[in-house]
Amino acid sequence: MLAHLLRHGETEGGARYWGRTDVPLSSRGWRQMRTAVTGRSWDLIVSSPLRRCATFAEALAEEIAVPCTLEPDLREASFGDWEGRSAAELSESDAERLRLFWSDPSAHTPPGGESLGDLQARVMAVWHRLAKVADSRRILIVTHGGPIRVFQAAQARMPLSALMSFDVPHAALIRIDWPEHGSLTTDPGVSLPTAEHR
C-alpha cells in the first residue's frame, strides 16, 4: 500500500492562520499543485472538504478518472481567535502565546482553537479507516499542514510537541509507505519506514 500526502497550494489572502476558514486557492496555488502531481497517478483521492484542497482534488480525480472522497476529518485545525490573522499581526498583539505555540503546540493551543490531541485523534481515525479498505491501491490524501504533520509525527514516532519540526511547504507531495500491519502508530516498539518528499 502506498499513500502520498499533498498539501494545498498558496491561498488567496496570503500566508495566514486560515484553519477552518474556507479560502480558495490562488492561481499560483493551482499551478503549484498541478506541478506537484504532474506525471503521477493514483487509484483513489481522499481530500479535506475545504475549497483549497477539494476543488483541486475533485478536478484531478476527474482528469485521471478515479474516485474522490471528501473527508471532513482531514480539515485543518481550528485556530480559534487566530483565524485569518498573520504571524506578523499576532507578533504585535499576542506575541507570547505565539512564541509558546511555536515552541510546543501540543501544550499551547491558540485561544479558542482545537487542541493537537483532538486533531491527532480525528486525523489518525481517517488513516485507520483507509487502512481497512486500502488493499494494494495507491491513495492520494489532499489536506493541510497540520494533518500532514500529524501523519509524519506518527510515522517518525515523534511526540506532538515536535510537530513544528516538520517542514511542509505549500503543495508539498510526501510519500508514505503503508506499514505491513496496516496502520501508523506512536508505539515506540513498532518500526516504521521514513516518509520521503517526492
Measure the CA–CA gap between 130 and 7, rounded to whole angstroms: 18
The yes-or-no answer on residue 76 being catalytic is: yes
Whose cell is 475545504? That residue is 50
Please state whether 180 falls in left (phi above 0), alpha (psi between -120 and 50) or beta. alpha
Scanning the chain, the segments in alpha helix (DSSP H) are 27-37, 51-64, 87-93, 95-103, 116-133, 145-156
Tell me how far apart the alpha carbons of residues 7 and 19 are, in angstroms, rounded to a whole number. Answer: 13
Q: Which of 4, 8, 144, 170 is catalytic?
A: 8
Query: How many angstroms separate the first and last alpha carbons of the chain?
Result: 16
Contact 60, 49 (CB under 8 A): no
Q: Residue 170, SS3?
A: coil
Q: Residues 6 or more apart from 57 whose CB is under 8 A from it?
A: 45, 46, 47, 68, 70, 140, 142
Catalytic residue among 4, 10, 71, 76: 76
Q: What are the catalytic residues?
A: 8, 76
